Structure 1
Amino acid sequence: MTDVAKLSTSGTGSPEEVGVVYKIPVSDLKPHPLNPYHVRNDDAMQELAASIQKHGVLVPVIARRKDDGLELIAGHRRQHAAQMIGVEAIPVLVLDMDDDDAIIQLVDSNIQREGVLPSERAWAYKLRMDAMKHKAGRPTKEDEDNSPKISANFRSDDELGVLAGVSGDTIRNYISLTNLIQPIMDMVDDKVISLSPAYAIAALSKADQESLLDAMECEQVTPSVSQAQRIRKLSLSGQFTSEIAVQIMREQKKPIKSDVILAGEKIRKYFPKSYTPSQMEAVILKLLEAWQRKRDRNQSR
């Protein structure tokens, strides 16, 4: 490794070394095994790769020393973009940090980035909250399950909400999504199921989620918020079955309004003053029919 620079801070007049930047082969950096953020070859990745091609990696990635080498903490997207365009080595800020600090740095490095998926945000919040609890000597989720009395005294979710700029309820709701089975989590990420019904579905047991998934696939629909809340209530009371899932999914949802309203003052200028609204409507429909016939002819050529 080639020493590039030393970073220091000087709050009291005496510099304190916080880490060293090295130029390190991209292939030597091992991704963090708990990284909640996916590296996607989307448009943003193409833009990042183009920027690195032109300017290089301007901001060093962050890694920590492990017994088997260097573990990447922040900068997985930069590493991937560099690999895409054949960059062999990138600047790396090497820090000494324990597992909890590594998780906190990992989560915070991307949580405010645009395009973070619900599943990524859910696992990021959970990882960070568990790390906060562990650092403070507080019980983890497993400890809380075994000791509800202890759990009531600690609200790391509210503390994390303050740090993240959201409410504690938002943190709790997102973390609940980590209980979803993967096919339903994928539907949430793909915006097939919105967040509000997803929070309710997350309270279901894995078996009940499987039953609901089968019903959704059978009927080709997803539950509304009210339906998801009813399903949650039935599941928690032990009354939810696969038959009930199909029955609820067969309920007709309120149709989405498809009316198009054209303001009279916007279209009046195209018609004789003597035309009534019904006459204008008839003309518009005839024009649309002629337009449709023309499109059909063009498509058939």
Structure 2
Amino acid sequence: MKSKSAEKIKLTSYDELFGAEENNVEGKYTKVPLSQLHPFKNHPFKVLDDEKMQETVDSVKQHGVIQPGIVRPCADGYEVVAGHRRWRACELAGETEMPVIIRDLDDDAATVLMVDTNIQRENLLPSEKARAYKMKYEALKHQGSKGDKHTADAVGEKAGDSGRTVQRYIRLASLIEGLLELVDTGRIAMVAGERLSFLKPEEQEMVLEAAGNIGAYPSPAQAGQLKAMSEEGTFSEGSIYALLVKKEGGGQSVTISSKKIRDYFPPAYTKTQIEEVIYSLLEQWKQRKGEEIDAGDTV
């Protein structure tokens, strides 16, 4: 049985809530089977079966879906523009259909609406905002927004983020998945992630591997150094380890005479080449020590 408060809600209130006037698009209210719903392409927001989802499920069971989702027609049903969490809650609650507003939206208008109806959610991960802002930025550019700064300001308006903050998030979207996860978990600061995003994908892979091997992650200053090395063409595996080992060592430091080291290498070897050989040999030594320990524990 529907609540009286639900019966009092009019379609115009939904339009105001989801910005129909802004998009100048009318919609049709109806209910559709859950089997006909499909997720928004490249939907950047996570839908988790967490405590908040359970609260939504309980609400759906008790009151139904008070606030309809927004969908648009697609080849084999409807693409969900807003309401992915409500859709999932309906599934978990055992519902077979969900109330929606059907709207004819082009890709850009649908993207802007999708981002705007989700971007003010609490506890969004940096990766979610990065991908969402990038999608909305590109959509607004397609719609004819002029000037990067103006567009970035428009992108962040709904969430109260400045154009500069938006640009930083958009840079994060250029990180490889592994590094973006480290930003999400706080092991790499957002500022450091922004600087690492300027590295080539293969360079980012090298940073991710090195960080995983030694359990140390680039600070903002170190990320800036890595970016500079990439721009100067001096980026190498050895340079990554050299930076991260400095951080990991904390107060301990070991100084080896460069003159003594030179005795072990051909005169033509550069500093970078020498570093690569040293760290390669250290890694081999580390692996052998690990094998010796494992062998000693074997019965």
Common topology (TM > 0.5): yes
Given that residues 65 and 71 in structure 1 are in contact (C-alpha distance below 8 angstroms), is that contact kept between their aligned partners in structure 2?
yes
- Superposed displacement of residue 163, structure 1: 4.5
Task: Determine which of 166, 178, 182 is the counterpart of 1:183.
Answer: 178
Q: Distance in 2 between matches of 1:158 and 1:254?
A: 42
Residue 136 (1) aligns with residue 144 (2): yes
Q: Please give the root-mean-square deviation of Cα atoms over the aligned residues, in Å.
A: 2.6
User: Structure 1: which 5+ runs fail to align?
Assistant: 139-151, 257-301
Q: Tell me the equivalent position of 2:220.
A: 225
Supply the distance in 2 between the matched residues of 1:54 and 1:153 (Cα, whole angstroms): 47
Aligned-pair CA distance for 1:234: 1.1
TM-score w.r.t. length of structure 1: 0.72
| Percentage of matched positions with identical amino acids | 35
The residue that corresponds to 1:157 in the other structure is 152
Would the alpha carbon gap of residues 39 and 153 (structure 1) be closer, same or farther in structure 2, given more than 3 Å must change?
closer
| Alpha-carbon offset, residue 189 of structure 1 | 1.5
Residue aligning to 1:99: 107
CA contact (8 A) 1:6 1:19 kept: no
Which residue type is aligned with residue 56 of structure 1? G
2:238 equivalent in structure 1: 243
Unaligned runs of 5+ residues in structure 2 are: 1-6, 17-23, 252-299
Q: State whether residues 8 and 17 of structure 1, in contact with CA within 8 Å, keep that contact through their aligned partners in structure 2.
A: no
Q: Distance in 2 between matches of 1:122 and 1:199?
A: 11
Larger Rg over CA atoms: 1
Deviation of 1:236 (Å)? 1.6
Q: In 2, are the aligned partners of 1:204 and 1:235 still within 8 Å (CA)?
A: yes
Matched with 1:31 is 39
Aligned partners of 1:227 and 1:248 also within 8 Å = yes
| Aligned equivalents of 1:6, 1:155: Cα separation in 2 | 35
CA contact (8 A) 2:199 2:230 kept: yes
Equivalent residue of 1:63, what SS? strand
Which whole-Å CA distance do the structure 1 matches of 2:227 and 2:148 have between them? 27
Separation of aligned partners in 1, 2:25 and 2:233: 58
**Shift, 1:174, TM fit:** 0.3
Aligned residues: 236
Q: How far 1:161 sits from its partner (Å)?
A: 3.2
Tell me how far apart the structure 2 counterparts of residues 122 and 189 of structure 1 sit (CA, whole Å).
11
> 2: distance between equivalents of 1:24 and 1:162?
32
- SS for the counterpart of 2:47 is coil
Offset, 1:164: 3.6
Give deviations 1:210-236, integer Å, cap 9, x for gaps.
111121011111111111111111112
Superposed counterparts of 1:35-114, under 5 Å: 35-114=43-122
Q: Give the direction of change, closer, same or farther, for the CA distance of 1:172–1:153 in structure 2 (3 Å limit).
A: closer
Paired residues of 1:64 and 1:94 also in contact (CA < 8 A): yes
- What CA distance in whole angstroms lies between the structure 2 residues aligned with 1:92 and 1:252? 53
- 1:129-166 CA-partner distances (Å, limit 9, x unpaired): 1111111176xxxxxxxxxxxxx677411332344422
